[in-house]
A and B are shown apart, each in its own frame.
Chain A
Amino acid sequence: NAGVTQTPKFQVLKTGQSMTLQCAQDMNHEYMSWYRQDPGMGLRLIHYSVGAGITDQGEVPNGYNVSRSTTEDFPLRLLSAAPSQTSVYFCASSYSASQENQPQHFGDGTRLSIL
């Protein structure tokens, strides 16, 4: 049981390049989400999914796409990378879409730099 696995751990991109950040969980969790963490701003929700085939936007969705074709995987795509997307990205999952007392399990993060 690996929990939430994010790859890669580090990545450097040039402006305009595209990239997919991978996230996989092996806990059969219904809910998955992507956050970005920037200094002094905490975590901001990018996109989330309450089940396979269902995705929705969070606070800061612009410039990112997601899909949820399986329960296990929730990739995040940067369509045309911009320096403003330099950040640490976290994927999280929880058993229940309504969360409540179900904890969100976080991956270790992907540190992304856009030059």
Chain B
Amino acid sequence: GEDVEQSLFLSVREGDSSVINCTYTDSSSTYLYWYKQEPGAGLQLLTYIFSNMDMKQDQRLTVLLNKKDKHLSLRIADTQTGDSAIYFCAEKRGDYKLSFGAGTTVTVRA
């Protein structure tokens, strides 16, 4: 999982936008994913993007992919207290495996 890098912490005010960044190294990755982990729970898939896309929007979530720079970002609009969690970036490697980043802990303050 060390080939996928994320910043460890992000603090954001309620109502503002959050942007979580991720870099990966495998240029042949076909799918990239964002997962959310709430305290004491497993990971929940938030969204994913295919490598031939630049952007994907899903309600409050916007994923941007810069394949040239191997950079992936997740923007959460109108961040709410329920968005406080750890967010993991993951890339699909080979046929079956996912390689995860270390996770970004997002704290939403009132």
Interface residues of A, Cβ cutoff 8 Å to B:
4, 31, 35, 40-45, 48, 50, 58-59, 90, 92, 97-101, 103-104, 106-109
Contact = CB atoms under 8 A, between A and B. Distances in A.
5 contacts: A41-B102, A42-B103, A45-B97, A50-B96, A103-B48
Contact of A103 (B8, B40, B45, B97): B45
B95 interface: yes
Interface residues of B, number: 25
Contacts of A107: 42
B95 A40 contact: no
A103 B42 CA distance: 13
B102 to A, nearest CB: 4
B4 A106 contact: no
A107 B44 CA distance: 10
B31 A101 contact: yes
Contact of B42 (A4, A48, A59): A4
